Structure 1
Amino acid sequence: MILRTIEIENFGLYAGRQTLDLVPRRGTSRPTPVILFGGRNGAGKTTLLEAVRLALYGKLALGHRVGQAEYEEHLLARMHVGAGGHVAGSASVGMEFDYAEAGRIHRYRVIRRWTAKGKKAVETLILEKDGRPVDSVPREEWHHFLQELIPPGVSQLFFFDGEKIAEIARDDVDDGLADAVRGLLGIEMVGRLRTDLGLFMARRENKEGAAAASRLKTVIDELDHTDRMVADMQEVVAELTSRRMGQVRAAANLRQRFAAEGGDAASQRAKFEATRDEARHQLARRETELRELAGGLLPFAMAPKTVQRLTAALSRSAGTGAAEAAVLRERLLAWRGTGDPPRSAQWKEGHWRDLDAFLAAEGYAPSSGDEPLSDLGANERASLLHHLREVRETTVARSALIASEMDRLGGRLRDAEANLVRASGQGAALIGQEIGLADSQVSATEAELKAREEELKGLEFKRTTLRRERERLLKAQAEAQATQGRTALAGRIGQVLERYEERLLESKLATLQAEFVRRFNHLARKGGFVADARIDRNTFATTLIDQDGREIAKSALSAGEKQVYAIAMLWALAHTSGRALPMIIDTPLARLDSEHRRTFVERYLPEASHQVIVLSTDTEVDDPLLRRLRPAVSHTYRLDYDPERRATSAHRGYFGDEEAADAVHQN
């Protein structure tokens, strides 16, 4: 694939229509695949990458969970705003590229145009092949055709920015990258073929396997239905997320208006709101404590006489206190004799005699076997007496304290609410009501969003379960002994495909591992730092191995080495896939140190692909790096922002390196 032109009209910072030539020119002695764009921050470099993604994928360029309303809101915000605040009524992005199919090169042209109609943006898609509209597929299927031509998961590994590099460089596993890698290496296609073969066998299964075949067909149908439900629910979640964001912004704007109209009262209101919220929080905590008491010992505190009688009955029950009193009496006499531990009070002889008489009487107090609690064990009696003592000594006091605290907090809450009414003032009263309504709308939307997110999780879990069951049924079906004709052949093909998928994955991973190690060492300043790599077949998480066979944790790499890791992985994936796609790289050097920047410019950019479009600031590819990159550069552009026109124009030439400006087509 060769990306020939990018067309932008009234999109972002670009006013009017501008067409940029991107075809690499042939060098005299070596390939010159690099087209270098220079622009300072805010000049519109990232807009070019966004234009390519939007032209190919439309709404999907913003992510799978972006709803139509949010997509249209984004497009309306991207229409060019010129001098005097004039907003363009329409905008478009497009591209022209050559793409090889069955050994023949075809020229495609795709344009997406959006026209503002109130708060909506109406999209028009133009798709031409060799100068004529694509008629081999229906117009409503053009979106899917473009996605199949260059799958989104594949494009993110060829059209990327510094954020994508940072994402791959992170220590955690990137599930999106794993899906993209499977598609990039061609492994998903084998899985689809196995599924189609399973359906073929299900239609021709004999009676003995009819149940399994019927179940397989049911699972596949349910999976298709669940996929659609997941997609629909993702749309609903995206719409609700967009609606909630809009409501939150509206509530924030109302608060700003309230502050502007209320003056000092608005400041006081913020303080009173904080007091009110804190009082509500504290009241909720006290209510929770009171509920816990009510579910425990508090009801006993409502009947103190009953508690007293129960305590006396437990004390009189058989065996209660006799042995304990005797032991206590002995210990008391020993303590009187030794004085250890020391006593602080002055005990007189009469005190000792009274205490000794009490313990002696307690130890020999007669008990009746007819006592209702006489069958209780010592531990049970002790536990009951402990709880009853807790009722008398703790529960009553604690509940009274909580009730008093709740009265105090209630008064504080009422005062805060009264202050809020006074602070609102006459002029801000209506806005205060609007804020309340806006907050209630946000709460309602958040509740609905949470419910839909839970539904989405349930659907995704169901889809995962169905996929596993489909895989199990396919495997069982492929392993079953086919008995006749095409069914027997299909069974053998299924087994072959399963083995082929395993071996293909092993082969691709082995190639990817070798390519990654070679390119990592090619880019890293430490030659031979990595001797080998292991890539997990399920998550595609990569483990580095040093010269001594020890694992190198990604977290142990320096920040620059993590960037080199990500770039090497992208490079190895592109090479292993065998896809001849151009590279578009937006501000890739921001996180690299000077030595890694030189290596990146000298060793990666000239070799990354047959066409490498680099979007850089003047501090990334500076004069020294430009001299190193110059032999691989086909031509350059400079993006200049004019603050008076509030518009960016593209001119030939890099910073301080002017070329003929008339080569850039502008209307």
Structure 2
Amino acid sequence: MVEPPRTEQDPDGWWREWIARTFLPPHLAPFFLFDGEAASAYAERDMGAQVKEGIDGLLGLVWLRRLAQSLRDYAANRRGQVAKGPDAATIVRLEAEVKQLEAEVAGAEERLKEIETELAGLESERLTLTRKLAGSGGRTRAELEDLIRAKADAERDLEKVRDKLSSLADGALPFSLVGGALRARLIDRLAKEARREQWLASAEETRARAETVLATAANAFACVAPPLTEGQHAQVREAIRGALETLWNPPPQDVAEDFRHEHATGRLREAVRARLEDAASITAGTVADILEQEARLASALRKFNAEIDAAEGTGGGLEGDRERLEELQRRIAALSREEGEKRAIVSSRGEDLRQKRAELARLTETLDQTKRPARLAKRAEQIALMLDNLLRDARPLQSQAIAEEMTRAIGAMAHKKDLFRRVDITADGEVRLLGPGGQNLRDYDLAAGEKQVFTQALFAAVAAVSQRVFPLVIDTPLGRLDEEHRIGVLRFLAERPSQVILISTDTEVVGPYLDAVRDRVADAWLLRNVTEGDSGRSWVERGYFPGQGLSP
């Protein structure tokens, strides 16, 4: 019998940990237990962000981030117990800057979680209203649904174009405006400073080894006859030191005479150089093309609005639904913009944070290492930096496995198999759906069902790569899928090696859809409900929807 030890102070916590370790960690639960309608809304989100969340859940990276932060808090506490040396002011300043940046990144990440939750609810409500409005008005249901979907697509495309313009303005555009000559001078200067940094490091290493060389020479001088006087010994030592210095002095001609950009070192310097080089590709035509796209999409959006207004009429209830849909569109657009801004903050502040943490770790080594707190602070900072590098490199390590599983899943579920070849995830997390000619199908407008198939494939890929044998539970699994996609998804789910529990309405896994997986159905239950006064009660009983041939 499994039970917590009698001395356990937190039995509930012990059980949670045991379940997570034995069956399924909490960060993987969303990929085994999810709502099909929520997946429909999730399918509208950025594919790269979806994959990032999937890999983070797969690897449990949130725990590594918490561990790294705990180590830094521990190191800061230990540094405070050591008498400060000549770098005291710099250490105090860096600690304050790191703390501020950590607060900004944590605040942005927390807001991103809130935005994601709110967007999922709003997008689900928008989907419900879109379906409702699509069945009204003078046009056919299909025509109005196409108009509403086209409008939503145009709004998303318009937001993407505006985000692209904003990103350009915040990124390479300012550098492109300063002119090629100034950019070239700065790139050259940064390259020379990088070489100076290498030269100084090599010179310092040589000086550190000089004493070893002198000690070896001194042993050799002991055999000289007649013996050298102390003065002669000193002269020889100085001559050797001078000879060693000539290895690195004078400095090479292509080395900067000093550092003008001390804040830009290592990875940050290379990032600045890459940004400057990217700016060369930005021209007036680039900006003009983006502005032309914005104008064209805005015009198309006005046209869709006019056609939808004409098709829907001005009925009271219908008009209220339409106004609510417009309100939802505005709120979703505003949240999407804020989401982009917060992701930009996490990205830019994250790079600054990594640089300052590295500098703080370097200065930690200047503390009096004869003191135990200083040694502990140094070790904690080193381990935290190692975890930072692991977090940065972890996603690419799993990207290939995720891409391969997604390719298999999409190939099984999609009905346009001739248009799809494989999923490719780049080093920076971009997701590409490649067609027969290598073209990225994401550059084209994917239908709602195709987007949902992508999301289902991601869930399946994370579950497969995790190698966890755990039941897959899906509520309303088929969402907005058309007939062929529904059958493909059901057959794919039926091939899973572990148990699959589908919670279906009486219009989903019935008729031909049930026939597609009937031979894999082990049991069926009905969820009954009755309302009694102001309360209700529910229960399950063996059986299935009438006429489906799954009677108890």
TM-score tier by shorter-chain length is 0.3 to 0.5
More strand by share: 1
**Higher helix fraction (1 or 2):** 2
Max radius of gyration: which structure? Answer: 1
TM-score of the pair, normalised by structure 1? 0.38
